[in-house]
Amino acid sequence: MGKRFTEITSFQKLFLFVLIFLGTICLSLTTFRSGREQEEGIAFWGPNGHDGIWHIALANQSLKSFPPPCPVFSGFKLTNYHFFYDLLLALSGQLTKVSLFTLHFRFYPVLFAFLLGVLSFMVGYLWRRDFWTGFWLCFLNYFAGSFGWIVTLAREGRIGGESLFWSMQSISTLLNPPFALSLIFLLGGMLFLLSCKGKSWKEVLLGGVIFGVIINIKAYGGVVALAGLASLAFFAFRKGRLGEGKVFLTATVVSSLIFFLTNRSGASLFIFKPFWFIHTMLEARDRLFLPRLALARYALLASSLGPKLILIEVIGLGLFLVGNLGGRIFGLLALGKRLWQKRVTSLDSFLGGGMLVSLFLPLLFIQKGTAWNTIQFFYYFLFLMNFYFAAFLADLTKTASLKEKIFLGVLLIITIPTSFSTLRDYLGRFPPAVIPSSEVVALKFLRNQPEGVVLTFPYQKEKKRNGVLVPLRFYETTAYVSALTGKISFLEDEMNLEITGYPWRERKREIEKFFSSRDEFWARGFLVNNQIDYIYLVAEEKLPLPPEKLGLKVIFNKGGVRIYKVLR
């Protein structure tokens, strides 16, 4: 007979309510202030000025076709990208008539944070039939952090360093809304596994769809989910159960259909590069940066493979794991205890399969174009390790030993500093980046013009600036013209184009040639042949020739912003 559920007291219910309330507020603070129009313009904190803008640009196009057109590379469909979150955003905006900025930066962050907390508690509670496991899992999915704060405190006398060992931590979950939504589906799938065994075709179909759609919410999460289901199916088969295997097969079919419809070249995106994250963690100044250890590795690598080189690689791996895991490292004790006592449940087998894949893939592979993108697999490893750290904390909570209670307090103290240091970055008085008010007026004007492709001045990385109130065009390469106008750009957001594998460099060279050409016939042909309808220029950005020679008409000229219509 299985373990009975512990009764939840009124005090525990209040404690859980306070945790979910505070957790929802804290997670939402990373996005809540961004995307608002203020005196200086539309403000952005952190990566919201790039990532948030990208999601709004994509949502603008998501209802036009399946897959949708790429919002920043005219003439091409979206490929190698999971866009179901953006489709959700677009549908919500269509149905409610609420601004996509409000939905993306405020409504969905609050909803996702709340659901993440509630589902975390429910899964943890059902898994071990214990309130405290659910409570601590909820807590960790809100606030678990790395040991980066120890390094910054020792070196600089301040607390920081959330991603010093490379990986994002729990507090930044909502900065990546597809990741947040994929966690909600993963938790929902785990609730299904804890409640159903795939005994009927309805259960098989439900489980297959829940896990199968994750691939186009977050592709990395889809891989982790299928790995977990494969492990679970094997575990269940050994016990004579076939239901879990049917769920796995159904989820695989659903995932494959969705994936190959929208990511046909995705299989070629990865490169075998073992320990790339560990090596760059030691070498990069914005990471852990241990140059002596890095130089020693290079010196030994130049001679031959030997025990010293292996030792350095093991040390690097240890720093990477312990640094990123933070207090979660103690979760390994809870995992080991379950294995030793042979108390492995169905959910443990699912977690184990997901953990193996989410750990080893980023250790062995990088992504073409943007090498560091595969670290997102590791986000799921940290999420799954929260389960075992929660079990460890729950056991400490229930003990009567004073020493263990003190140890519990110490663990909490060392787990949360990076979360609060990260929040501090989103509470500054002035935003790091803005879309200036003059551009906002111009972009709203362009939004009300007929559909068409917009040509913008090419992004100039050498003009990139950091500070406060930096115009977004100088802060990062983004999709802000497409996002605010709802129109497709000829070329914007080089970062996402690189990640998704578009041939953008050749197009950028053509654009640069256009803005420097004195050949009016070639320049006019460039505009017509590429079906460009509008040209958007700001301040010092200038046309190569007078507008009339290029067949252009000025339709907006105010506040340093000029918009030209290409005449046919």
CA distances (Å), 539 to each of 434, 445, 473, 484, in order? 15, 17, 11, 19
What is the C-alpha separation between 58 and 489, in angstroms, rounded? 11
pLDDT of 155-214, one tens digit each?
999 999 999 999 999 999 999 999 999 999 999 999 999 988 667 888 899 999 999 999
* Res. 3: pLDDT tops 80: no
* Domain chopping of the chain, boundaries: 10-32+79-425, 433-566
Query: What is the pLDDT, as a whole number, of residue 369?
Result: 74
For the domain bounded by 433-566, which CATH number is listed? 3.40.50
Query: What is the pLDDT, as a whole number, of residue 1?
Result: 39
What is the C-alpha separation between 457 and 535, in angstroms, rounded? 8
Q: pLDDT category, 258, cuts 50, 70, 90?
A: confident
Two tokens at 272?
């075998």
Tell me the DSSP string of 359-374: HHHHHHEEESSSGGGG
* Res. 360: pLDDT tops 80: yes
Instruction: Give the count of beta carbons closer than 10 Å to the beta carbon of residue 396.
Output: 20
Q: Give me the sheet containing 488-489, strands edge to edge.
A: 488-489, 453-456, 532-538, 561-566, 552-558
Q: pLDDT category, 126, cuts 50, 70, 90?
A: very high
The predicted model gives 121-149 an average pLDDT of 96
What secondary structure letter does DSSP report for 77? B
Residues contacting 349, CB < 8 A, separation 6+? 231, 232, 234, 235, 236
pLDDT of 233-247, one tens digit each?
999 898 888 888 999
Q: What is the pTM of this model?
A: 0.94
The predicted model gives 394-410 an average pLDDT of 91
Residues contacting 89, CB < 8 A, separation 6+? 55, 56, 59, 62, 100, 103, 104, 108
The predicted model gives 103-107 an average pLDDT of 97
Q: pLDDT category, 267, cuts 50, 70, 90?
A: very low
Q: Are 269 and 366 in contact (CB under 8 A)?
A: no
What is the C-alpha separation between 565 and 547, in angstroms, rounded? 10
Lowest-pLDDT range of 24-28, 63-67, 175-179, 258-262: 258-262
Q: Are 149 and 56 in contact (CB under 8 A)?
A: no
pLDDT of 73-93, one tens digit each?
999 999 888 899 999 999 999
Two tokens at 468?
């406060």
Instruction: Give the count of beta carbons closer than 10 Å to the beta carbon of residue 271.
Output: 14
Share of the chain above pLDDT 90, in %: 81
